[in-house]
Structure 1
């Protein structure tokens, strides 16, 4: 019984390490350019990036649900490819 448990723990640790390394390898070409809070801010930033033709991807690392209030405070981390980072910053500085 103890041997099975040790084996399962070792497999889980190896899986976690492998998935962390894989995630690091996949994301090494992407750069965080903006963190938006709430869907209004998210859509505003995404519209600017789309208008500039900048490809992006989103991560939502934190998502607290506060039932007491109705304001959306979901965190959206917005990443662009490193070679498009300058274009993304230029697009985000646009006042439109």
Structure 2
């Protein structure tokens, strides 16, 4: 069956942060880039060429934004500050040594 995606004007992005390390900047950006690519190409197929191209395009745009407006990336965001306050300690959470 065909998957239905939300209209592009509307995006509610809800993430269960239990398994995400909010102190790692790369991980904070990886997931939204990945999920936004699904929304743009309207496919859950990770192997389709359009998905791969969209992931790299979004990553490149984010890199350019970071170079042109580094102030957006050098200070803790209100979002990350709220996450630190809202998240309970993760006892026994799997570590991510590659991050």
- TM-score in terms of structure 1 length: 0.28
Q: Which structure has more RCO (C-alpha within 8 Å, separation ≥ 6)?
A: 1
- TM-score in terms of structure 2 length: 0.27
Q: More strand per residue: 1 or 2? A: 1
Q: Which has the larger radius of gyration?
A: 1
